[in-house]
Amino acid sequence: MSGLVVRTDGILQIEDEDVALLTAAGLRYSEATCKSEEEVIAAGQGAAGLLVLAEPITARVLDALPDLKVVARFGVGLDTIDIPAATARGVRIVNVPDANTTEVAAHAMALILTLVRRIPQLNGAVQEGKWGFRNGGEGIRRISQQTAGILGFGRIGRLVAESCRQLGFSVLVHDPFVDDSVVEAAGFSPVPLDALVRSSDVLSLHVPMSEENRNIIGREAIASMRDGAIIVNVSRGGLIDEVALAAAVSSGKLAGAGIDTVAEEPLASDSPLRGHPGILITPHAAHYSAESFRETVHRAYADVARVLSGQPPQNPVN
CATH number of residue 88's parent domain: 3.40.50.720
* Together in a domain, 81 and 109: no
Per the CB < 8 A criterion, the answer to whether 129 and 225 are in contact is no
Q: Looking at the domain assignment, is residue 317 inside a domain?
A: no
Q: Residue 94 in 3-state DSSP?
A: strand
Kindly report, residue by residue over 74-96, the tens digit of the pLDDT.
Answer: 999 899 999 999 999 999 999 99
* Together in a domain, 49 and 130: no
Tell me which residue range forms the domain holding 84. Answer: 4-99+290-308
Q: Looking at the domain assignment, is residue 315 inside a domain?
A: no
Q: Looking at the domain assignment, is residue 314 inside a domain?
A: no
Average pLDDT over residues 157-185: 98
Q: How many domains does the chain have?
A: 2
Q: Looking at the domain assignment, is residue 60 inside a domain?
A: yes
Kindly report, residue by residue over 259-311, the tens digit of the pLDDT.
Answer: 999 999 999 999 999 998 899 999 999 999 999 999 999 999 999 999 999 99
**pLDDT at 1 > cutoff 60:** no
Q: Looking at the domain assignment, is residue 313 inside a domain?
A: no
* Together in a domain, 95 and 106: no
* Together in a domain, 95 and 146: no
* Together in a domain, 87 and 148: no
Q: Looking at the domain assignment, is residue 275 inside a domain?
A: yes
* Together in a domain, 204 and 84: no
Beta strands 189-190; 229-233: pairing state: unpaired
* Together in a domain, 236 and 261: yes
Per the CB < 8 A criterion, the answer to whether 243 and 216 are in contact is no
* Together in a domain, 95 and 105: no
Sheet holding 147-151, edge to edge: 189-190, 170-174, 147-151, 202-205, 229-233, 254-259, 279-281
CA distance 31 to 104: 28
What is this structure's pTM? 0.91
Q: Tell me the average pLDDT of the chain.
A: 96
* Together in a domain, 174 and 204: yes
* Together in a domain, 160 and 258: yes
* Together in a domain, 250 and 298: no
Kindly report, residue by residue over 201-212, the tens digit of the pLDDT.
Answer: 999 999 998 889
* Together in a domain, 239 and 124: yes
Q: Looking at the domain assignment, is residue 218 inside a domain?
A: yes
Q: Residue 229 in 3-state DSSP?
A: strand
Q: Looking at the domain assignment, is residue 318 inside a domain?
A: no
- Quick one: CA torsion of 61, 65, 70, 76, rounded to 10 degrees? -20
**Closest C-alpha among 156, 31, 51, 63 to residue 93:** 51
What is the set of active-site residues? 236, 265, 284
Residue ranges in the chain assigned as alpha helix (H): 16-23, 37-43, 59-64, 83-88, 101-116, 119-127, 134-137, 155-167, 180-185, 193-199, 219-224, 242-251, 290-308
